Amino acid sequence: MTLKPVPKDSPKGESSPMYTISGLADEFGITPRTIRYYEEVGLLTSHRSTPTSHRLYDSRDRGRLKLILRGKRFGYSLAELAEILHLYDVDPTQKKQIKRTLEMGIKHLEEINEKIEELEELREEMIEFALSFLEIISEEKGDESDEMKAFIAGARAVVESMHGK
């Protein structure tokens, strides 16, 4: 499991660590095609020495990619992610779009808060259900093997440890 801060250097000497497209792809469990696609739709940028050379990525690009993939796991579409990521690109000294940027940022933050709350609700519901499920099993006492009883006890312990955060 070795990472790939790849070729000794990109311009000359050694600047910052650079990643190849398949290096990043492997690291995040995606394909190069996906990364190129994100560039195609304007979500990500790459750096090349010449217009036809291979793509290289620095740690900032890598962070951005990580953010994209994280967002995807929360159900954001690439279009929505573009909107969010754009917030990180606005120049704070260019006061023209500051107000809109702040409004958008706060809006997204509030959305995230809502999602967290909803997820916590969902978790509680699942926990309640699991506990009542375990309850019924236990009442139906009797013909389980010892290992099954141990398994059930373990399950209950795990679920209860999650209860109430």
Which residues of this protein are in contact with a second copy, per CB under 8 A? 67, 70-76, 88, 92-93, 95, 98-99, 101-102, 105-106, 108-109, 112-113, 115-116, 118-120, 122-123, 126-127, 129-130, 133-134, 136-137, 140, 143-144, 148, 151-152, 155, 158-159, 162
Q: Is 42 in the site for DNA (CB under 7 A)?
A: no
User: Per-residue string for binding with DNA, 61-90, x by CB under 7 A?
Assistant: -----------x----xxx-----------
> Could you say whether residue 21 binds DNA (CB under 7 A)?
yes
* Pairwise CA distance, residues 88 & 30, whole Å: 24
Nearest to 28 by CA among 58, 70, 89, 57: 70
Token couple for 35: 């990364």
Written as one letter, the residue type at 144 is E
* Least distance in angstroms from the C-beta of 9 to a second copy: 30
User: Please, what is the minimum distance in Å from the beta carbon of residue 18 to a second copy?
Assistant: 23
Q: 22 contacts which partner out of DNA, a second copy, none, CB within 5 to 8 A by kind?
A: DNA
The closest alpha carbon to 20, from 47, 40, 2, belongs to: 47
**Helical segments of the chain, H only:** 21-28, 32-40, 59-73, 78-87, 98-139, 146-162
72 touches 61 (CB < 8 A): no
Q: How far is the CB of 47 from DNA (least distance, A)?
A: 10
Distance CA 25, CA 21 (A): 6
Q: Which residues contact DNA by CB under 7 A?
A: 6-7, 20-23, 30-34, 36-37, 41, 46, 49-50, 52-55, 72, 77-79
